Amino acid sequence: MLRIGNCSGFYGDRLPAMREMLEGGGPDGVLDVLTGDYLAELTMLILQRDRAADPGAGYARTFLAQLRDCLRLALDRRVTIVANAGGVNPAALAAAIKDLDPAARVATINNVRHDDGYAYLGAFGIARAIEAGADVVVTGRVTDASLVVGPAIARFGWNRTDLDALAGATVAGHVLECGTQSTGGNYAFFAEIDDLDRPGFPIAEIRPDGSSVITKHPGTGGAVTVGTVTAQLVYEIGDARYAGPDVTTRLDTVELRAAGPDRVEITGVRGEAPPPDLKVAHTSVGGFRNELTVVLTGLDIEAKAALFRRQFEAAARTRPAEVTWTLTRLDVPDAPTQQQASALLTVVARDRDEKVAGRAFADGAVELALASYPGFFATSPPGRAHPYGVFTSSYVRQGEHEVVLADGTVETIAPPPVTRALEPLTGPPPGGAAFSQARRLPLGTLAGARSGDKGGDANIGLWVRDARAYPWLSALITERTLKDLLPEAAELPIRITRLPRINAVNVVIEGLLGQGVAYHARFDPQAKGLGEWLRARHVDIPAWLLEDA
């Protein structure tokens, strides 16, 4: 068995977590490997800008801070550390780690650069670094799951043809990658978890066949249940074929089982040959963005919004390439507080020229302070424009990449010898769910959800904890129903995948997030709350399913 923990789910996660994971668990709970995920689309843009300003930057500085506190502890306990904190400059991070402790054996994975993009690499380079004795492996952009798959390859000696084992470890890695999201963080049924003030970070106990048990250190907060693991499993996925550089994982084969307190077993995972292409993520500055929000209070909200918009557009001294208006009705009739009587009107400008989207555009609002609708005020004064990012993706053929071993030796990692073109697999059609009596209630009465971003697309994973309710959920979630429940998606393509073995349905709404998180196409740019909005919408629920709910 191989015990792999996680101490970071994003750049900015809980700083003491590395020490908590290294010291937790008691004498029988020592980890073999500790991983950390620090990269996301927005993070890559930030790190690119850091390196442009300073050639020695471009990596996750919080990881270095954690090692400054914990590197000697990890070395003494013989815990191998694997992290993608190298960002766009793994070599610089490796040098900084060596400065902390020259005895540390640090290896790096050299990512493949394509213009302004970075390809998602696989796990075999990480495995080779560990086999050669690395104490710390620093990568740039690899798939999140590779941080777990690589150590498992090194421990169990898997090769390119051990697809089921690779797929099983990929699922474990996907569950671990977002840290405490698999131990109760951001969980739809959070009120049922007794101790959620400081959730513990997750651990995967991986077996030689790729099956695993997800757990956490004893005495830490949060919980590991089939529900918390399911919630993370359906986070930011596409269809039932989960493509990676080393294996395509069949998510429709995953089986989950409670295996004791805070222990969930993952079995049955099947893998297929990986696709011939690697995904390349491109993040770049798209231009400049400015935003102004004014508050509309009390009566005649629509008329007040229309007046301000006419006045503002007439007063603006520039015409940005893109201008959007959003009226958010938060007001309620006969409100007991002024805030509850107020609505928000927001204007957003984007343009390649900072001056066009800047003060020349926004300052017109100042002139209206005494000349517009009654009760006029803004949430903040007009300001200058700021850069915004855009995300696009492309694909390149799988090829070689390099691992720089701890002794400085450079080795080439060959691509997989066998690949398979990726074909969508959306799952079986919905089954029947006939019922005579129903109640109109929020979808979240029975269904959990977790949502997030996939470039410009949004993902919502839905599941039920009672298998008897799954036929109802599967039949309910159709493209037509979703467009009724989520009017923002009415004109957008929607893809639906059913995963009956874990009682889940996955939804991808294409284009909801524009050109990615840094583009800020909507007020929730990563779609984190989208699933909770959907859970709050009312649907018909069979009365018999509510008897024990």
pLDDT at 398: 92
DSSP-assigned beta bridge partners for residue 5: 34, 203
The crossing angle, in degrees rounded to 10, of helices 163-176 and 146-156 is 140
Who has greater pLDDT, 385 or 521? Answer: 385
Extract the tokens encoding 518: 């840094």
Extract the tokens encoding 523: 């007020």
DSSP 294-320: EEEESS-HHHHHHHHHHHHHHH-S---
Extract the tokens encoding 375: 């009760």
Helix H or strand E encompassing 401:
strand 401-404
Who has greater pLDDT, 348 or 519? Answer: 348
Mean pLDDT for the stretch of residues 156-178: 98
Instruction: Look at residue 345 and tell me whether its pLDDT is greater than 90.
Output: yes
Instruction: Look at residue 117 and tell me whether its pLDDT is greater than 70.
Output: no
Q: What percent of the chain has pLDDT over 90?
A: 85
Cα–Cα separations (whole angstroms), residue 103 to 60, 72, 107, 125, 502: 22, 10, 13, 22, 46
Instruction: Look at residue 435 and tell me whether its pLDDT is greater than 80.
Output: no
**504 contacts 461 by C-beta, under 8 angstroms:** yes
Instruction: Look at residue 159 and tell me whether its pLDDT is greater than 70.
Output: yes
pTM: 0.93
CA 12, 16, 18, 24 dihedral sign is: negative
Q: How confident is the model at residue 280 (pLDDT cuts 50, 70, 90)?
A: confident
pLDDT at 114: 46
Question: Nearest-5° angle of CA 211, CA 215, CA 217?
Answer: 140
Sequence-distant (≥ 6) Cβ neighbours of residue 398 within 8 angstroms: 245, 274, 276, 277, 278, 415, 416, 419
Mean pLDDT for the stretch of residues 133-138: 98
Q: How many CB atoms lie within 10 A of CB 247?
A: 31
Total length of the chain:
549
